[in-house]
Homo-oligomer: A and B are copies of this chain.
């Protein structure tokens, strides 16, 4: 993973960012955690806590998002989620609506064909998609009142 971190720092530098402690810390955090996290979660991550102000983390995430190295996700929480964007990689997510657990889906994403079709039919460019499944995880279902079952 050391290699990946170095690559990311290079990409950031090429994109015009300076190599600072905060940048290294946040990229390390992104690589090690490898799941969408909120701004708050980032600032509490060991690599960042007590080292970087929340505003700094926010501005870095913003810059990295602008440069296409990070993607900002809306996952139904009030807070926005950010995750590392690695070329050639794509993740969809499965989210428990009770405990908020987020897990990446490993199955191949069936949407790319539709994405291509939309590109052709609508003329939209620079397309990407975001796909999330929401439900109740087995653990939350088991602690649930039997009567609460819905749908």
Residues in A lying within 8 Å of B, measured CB to CB: 68, 72-78, 80, 94, 96-97, 103, 105, 107, 109-111, 113-115, 117-119, 122-138, 141, 150-151
Contacts and interface: CB of A to CB of B under 8 A. Distances in A.
The A interface is mostly helix, strand or loop, or mixed, namely mixed
Indicate the member of A96, A119, A133 with the most B CB atoms within 10 Å. Answer: A133
Please tell me how many copies of the chain the complex holds: 2
Given A103-B122, A123-B137, A125-B136, 5 more contacts: A74-B74, A110-B113, A124-B137, A127-B135, A128-B135
A56 B119 CA distance: 40
A115 B111 CA distance: 12
A128 B68 CA distance: 29
A48 B130 CA distance: 32
A68 B148 CA distance: 13
Given A72-B76, A130-B134, A133-B129, A118 B113 contact: no
Nearest to A75: B74
Contact of A131 (B78, B123, B130, B136): B130
